[in-house]
Amino acid sequence: MDRKQLIVANWKMHKTPAEAAEDAAAIATALGRLPDHSSVALAPPFPALVPVRERLAQTQLLLAAQNVHSEAQGAFTGEVSAPMLKACGCDLIIVGHSERRAMANESDAMVQAKMKAAFQHEMGVILCIGESDSQRNEGQTFKVLDKQVREAVKGLSVTGVNSLVLAYEPIWAIGTGKTASVDQVQEVHAFLRETLADCFQTGLEKDLAKQTEILYGGSVKPSNIKDLMSMKDVDGALVGGASLNPETFVSLIRNGFDL
């Protein structure tokens, strides 16, 4: 069983629905048919999900949401639930992004509940984890990541493991232009693969955990994606800034997938 390659555009709080739909169509047209085992997903802001989905019909591109609430419905002003995102045509949900952990105080327990909601409604999860600058400088990187992974996947079913993608995003590398070195990234990804397998008991779960795609995120650009993806345990990227311009993002994908 081979791992797949995946490159995801996280558009964060950028683009109106019309702009997002136009850019999605431009990306899909420029890419054409993708090789087997290589996928691309777009994560626009909530209001753009449906228009982007419409433009992605008949294409292989996947649609991702940037967040989800753990409950299916209720008095949660400003929140969006998993069944709503499913109805918008989402394939994946980004959960636990460091910006949400910092801005909205999302705890590991909340992240876990959000993941469960996504799986219950048959969507995949891109689980973001990563250490801060001070945690790395204090030698806490592996301890922090170990806790984030273990707390998030506690009680996860086989189906859950099967629908999980990890995204290692060191906070100090997000939007800073400071990319982690390929050796730093490989070291962390290998650690994450082992840690994830160690979270499960059965052979099947452990095998699935070892096959989990692990993406890197943090100042990924067309110029560094090839080197990052040449590392053994790097299966793709979660891209912020360099995904906003369709031409730049398409060239990043071409370099990453060797197209």
Ligand X SMILES: O=C(CO)COP(=O)(O)O
Interface with ligand X: number of residues (CB under 6 A): 14
Q: Is position 240 an interface residue for ligand X (rule: CB under 6 A)?
A: yes
Q: Smallest distance from the beta carbon of 1 to ligand X, in angstroms?
A: 27
Q: Is position 222 an interface residue for ligand X (rule: CB under 6 A)?
A: no
- Residue 32, marked binder: no
69 is catalytic: no
Q: Which of 97, 99, 189, 213 is catalytic?
A: 97
What character string, x for contact with ligand X (CB under 6 A) and - otherwise, covers 158-197? -----------x----xx----------------------
Point out the residue whose Cβ comes nearest to ligand X. 240
- Residue 172, marked binder: no
Q: Which of 99, 131, 169, 213 is catalytic?
A: 169
Question: Crossing angle of helices 141-153/108-120, nearest 10°?
Answer: 40
Q: Which residue has the tokens 């984030």?
A: 148
Q: Give the span between the Cα atoms of 250 and 238, in whole angstroms.
A: 14
Q: Is position 218 an interface residue for ligand X (rule: CB under 6 A)?
A: yes
- Residue 78, marked binder: no
CB closer to ligand X out of 89 and 241 = 241
- Which H or E run contains 259? none
Piece of 19-27, 104-112, 136-144, 236-244 that binds ligand X (CB under 6 A): 236-244
Distances (CA, A) of 1 to 74, 113, 186: 41, 29, 21
- Residue 219, marked binder: yes
**Nearest CA-CA partner of 43 in 165, 208, 176:** 165
10 strand-pairing partners: 43
The residues near 180 (Cβ < 8 Å, ≥ 6 apart) are 170, 173, 188, 216, 218
Q: Is position 17 an interface residue for ligand X (rule: CB under 6 A)?
A: no
Q: Is position 219 an interface residue for ligand X (rule: CB under 6 A)?
A: yes
122 is catalytic: no
CB closer to ligand X out of 84 and 220 = 220
Count of CB atoms situated within 10 Å of the CB of 33: 7
Q: Is position 215 an interface residue for ligand X (rule: CB under 6 A)?
A: no
Q: Give the span between the Cα atoms of 110 and 135, in whole angstroms.
A: 22
- Residue 175, marked binder: yes
- Which H or E run contains 256? helix 246-257
The residues near 124 (Cβ < 8 Å, ≥ 6 apart) are 91, 92, 93, 118, 163, 164, 165
Contact residues: ligand X, CB under 6 A: 10, 97, 169, 174-175, 217-220, 238-242
Annotated binding site for substrate: 10-12, 175, 219, 240-241
For the annotated catalytic residues, the residue numbers are 97, 169
